[in-house]
Structure 1
Amino acid sequence: MWYIYNNKEVWGIFMPIPTEILDSWSKQGATKTPKILREKIEKVLTDDRSKIKRKNLLDIYLQGSYRNNTNILGSSDVDIVVQSKATFFSNISQLDTYEREIYNKTFDDATYTWRYFKNDVIETLQNAFGSSNVKIGNKSIKVITENYEADVIPCFEYRKYVSFGNNEVDREYISGIKFYTTNENNIVINYPKKHYTFGVDKNKRVNNNYKPTVRIFKNIKKRLLEQQKITKKVTSSYFIENLLYNIPDQYFNIDNSSIRITNILNWLNNNIDSFSTFVCQNKQINLFGSAQEQWNEEDAREFIFEVNKFWSKW
């Protein structure tokens, strides 16, 4: 149907969830407790009893919804990256032959491998929190505390080199993280710091409406799960955020949340066959594909379909 907004005719499925409900869903969840938990994990991993080699070269930071300020009320799991700066993985596929020769002369193979590092992290956490409170998952190590569960991700820096010269000033790379899954030994590469930076930039460009919008969609996902309209397999909060990042800025530049969500749903419906052009928020990886860090197109279509039904039948 057509409706009028700011003296303009706009097309939309205008049967909105009341604005006051959407505004409550847009609110951010806890911020203090995740910060305290990260600091607690950092203290354990860097103190004198830590088993980690060169523990002074750790970069420990929040990842996911708590880092990106898109966590909703009631969220519990806190993603914490434990990145060793003692060594790194690299990708030199974009370098020419001359640059690769310089690279190979510059660096030796690492002696402290990721597997040794991961085992040191696990042992240190078990000693501090108790073996029964530390569960080794496929992608992370879950640490169970009184109020929150931390998903700790041991990783090395991943450097995707763009250029490599004889001097540091002539070397350019895109920095991410890399680790292996426990069960399949699959490679996982991601760019959490890029994800954070581009999310902050988009939020600023759209009058701070981007992150509240992400939280609204996460609340809708939560209710779809509760109603068993979708399963956890269909989507994650991470993929929802990446999906919405691809929507042009003008669709977020509307303060009325009902109209904003309506326009966003219409845009998604009109562009559902353009998934091949969608990128992750880090701008380094395509959103859809078969890799660990990518989404399945069929699952995405199912999610959008169920969100539309939820919206229209409120």
Structure 2
Amino acid sequence: MALQKRTDDLDWNDLRYVLALARHGSLSATARFLKVNHATVSRRIAALEETLELTLFERRARGYVLTPAAAPVLAAAEQIEAPLLRLGRLGDASRGEQISGTVRITCTEGVASHTIAPQLTGLRQRWPALQIEIAVEHRSLSLARREADIAIRWARPKTGELYASRLGAVPYRLFRNPAAPDRTAVAAFDESLADLPESLWLKKSGLKQMIRSNSMLPLVAAARAGACAVLLPEYIAGQYPELVAEPGKPPVTRELWLVLHRDLRNTPRVRAVADYLADGIKRALRQPA
């Protein structure tokens, strides 16, 4: 079947099922979210796979996982979804719903300083009545207990009544100032963050961890000054022209997710901030290093 014919036959309602299954991970959770039975979810996914002549999901013990072939389909579905959500928010505005109040965001330090903070000017200009709180935590604050309204997390949550939207893959590379005298020295997180994927890779790398901290900011500053290398997300290191990437394949790749509690996902102020941040983060992740 020709590609044009396959895309002409696409139905947005089928793409909604792909988005929902990708976000919820199981037929039962997807069915509850879409208010249909699980057989309908399975049938609509199968119909779309037949139309596209692609396998979009693999069934595993813990649920359904996207195949590599599903990535462009998911991206296209998200691009179609975004303007529809915006139209919905315009409808809310026309009914007199004001975007105001406090929205509390929890994320790690690097995400807060390099990803969220740069967007605050535009967000404040759009909704001047909003108050934004940023809780910088390495642990996951509880959305259920209202410790935060929005979470930006480095893994998809596996429990709780949560809505998770994948923001993108984040490749990590070693970066250094070319003036650095010792090419075997690296700045790394301390033992309190030893279980992070980047910490585990550095432990096996053979590089000498000469500078350590529980904060990303001094590690970045040390690398920029030429004291050592640092393992960073490409989109963060790209903000510092003095840092040059080591060639080769990224040694670590993580995924960034935006997470909301389902009870809050349609609250106008939370939805507005979440969509604004998601759009900005996705653009940042697409920027070349």
Scaled by the length of structure 2, what TM-score is found? 0.25
Scaled by the length of structure 1, what TM-score is found? 0.24
